[in-house]
Amino acid sequence: MITLLDYGAGNVRSVINAIEHLGEAVKIVASARDIETAGQLVFPGVGAFGSMMHRLQELKLVAPLREYLSADRPFLGICLGMQALFEGSQEAPGVPGLDFLPGRVVRFNTDLSVPHIGWNGIRALQPSPLFAGMNGQERLYFVHSYHVQADNDTDVLTMTDYGYPFVSAVQRGQVVATQFHPEKSGAAGLTLLANFLAGKTIPTTPEKTPERTSLAKRIVACLDVRANDQGDLVVTKGDQYDVREAGEVRNLGKPVTLAQRYFEQGADEITFLNITGFRDFPLEDLPMLEVLRRTSERVFVPLTIGGGIRDYTDAAGHTYSALEVAGAYFRSGADKVSIGSDAVLIAEAYLKTGTASGKSAIETISRVYGNQAVVISVDPRRIYVENPEACRHALIKTDYPGPAGERYCWYQCTIKGGREGRDLDAVTLARVCERLGAGEILLNCIDRDGTNSGFDIELIKAVSTAVTIPVIASSGAGNPAHFQNVFVQTEAEACL
């Protein structure tokens, strides 16, 4: 029996699924007594450091956690569960950590995109039972804006490079913790997790130790999900956002089956876009929540869900916040949520007043779950401009003139599945959303959707150079060369 600490933030469902997939049963911590009696304790921290520590204090779990760690009992911390072991974090000044290991947590100070999101390597500095069966060349999944600065070199298990070397795993006795997510790192992550669960005690050194690690570019598989005319959830495909063919919704298969197939074929991430979410209330969309639950039982890479992440009032007059909607998705197995049309409206409100309300979906979700949990899905279309001096939007001098020979254009944001254009450009939207707390941009393009003619390189360049958060390029891929073009010609970290 594996004891798991779930303090109520983020997606621990994936960790539970991974443990159960490996043949172990899971007991969720309900009281301090459960920590005291645990044989092996797993702490998958998710979200923001301050929220996590406040919640642990409320649950009266800080003291029993410190006692458990001090007794040198089997412990695996994941992501924020590793950062919690230290004295405190730059993310939450004045909020103490568990203070088990000397050192602090600081924000990345690099010209590279932050958060650090994706698949990177590790460089082992000492042997560990975790490394049994690993060759040292594995890539593991990271998603974080802050990293550990350990005072004692003897506590450092692995280092990883992102602009500069940082601590990616720690070990002291039977206490181990990783900044990366084993449960989201495919076969390599499951191997590492299995070593911990098996209680392996013989330290092992990986066969190879890279001199330097690097972040890989990501390929994201996207599944547009909607109900067909018979009410069944299907994966569909749009042609410039039109998903019907001969009057019927295009049906490419069942969401869970296709997601598992993409995972087995090597997709780095899976994204579900619930393309009817802007009309329907997600908490009443039980089939979509079930799709997430079932997918997270079979797919051990990150899952993103988009559609309907907004405040909502039902027929009975009960109001649900976007934070509650996101929480339901996270508890069902999502690692990130994607906000689309509402992000445009939030940005418009910000630009109108010049101040952040603190209450928008972007702000509330990132405050609780961390900015890495919030993806902004942008649906722009190209608008050509005859007189650039008369246009107040972010303009691009294009190599592809318009129908009347226009040499300048801007990218108009749309809402409601691309059916309604707004007086806001994609570059400004991305900048505002980053300022409000978003951690990633999913950049679509209505003009290229379903065309197989390649990505809109000019759009991707404009947005990726305007923000410091990662950008996922989407729309238009028709062959492998199109992906290579994006990675060579732009700053995008991923393609969809």
Which entry of 138, 224, 425, 491 is annotated as an active-site residue? Answer: 224
**Distance from the Cα of residue 450 to its chain's centroid:** 25
Contact 428, 457 (CB under 8 A): no
| Exposed e or buried b per residue across 191-216, where buried means at least 16 C-beta atoms within 10 angstroms of its C-beta | bbbbbbbeebeeebebeeeeeebebe
Of the residues 91, 138, 183, 449, only one is catalytic, namely 183
Q: Could you give the dihedral angle defined by the CA atoms of residues 422, 426, 431 and 434, in that order, rounded to the nearest 10 degrees?
A: 90
Is 144 in the active site? no
d(CA 310, CA 295): 23
**Helix H or strand E encompassing 369:** helix 361-369
Catalytic residue among 138, 285, 379, 493: 379
Q: Is 224 tagged catalytic? A: yes
Catalytic option among 79, 413, 433, 445? 79
Which among 190, 188, 193, 143 has a CA at the least distance from the CA of 168? 143
Phi and psi at 215, nearest 5°, equal: -80, 125
The catalytic position among 181, 222, 409, 458 is 181
Hey, what are 359's tokens? 């209450």
**DSSP string across 306-327:** ES--S-EE-TTS-EE-HHHHHH
Of 319, 442, 425, the C-alpha closest to 374 is: 442
Reply yes or no on whether 72 is catalytic. Answer: no
Instruction: Look at strands 303-306 and 336-339 and give their pairing.
Output: parallel
CA atoms within 13 A on the CB side of 57: 10
Query: Is 153 noted as a catalytic residue in this protein?
Result: no
Which token pair is 118?
């994706």
Active site residue 389: no
Catalytically active residues are 79, 181, 183, 224, 379
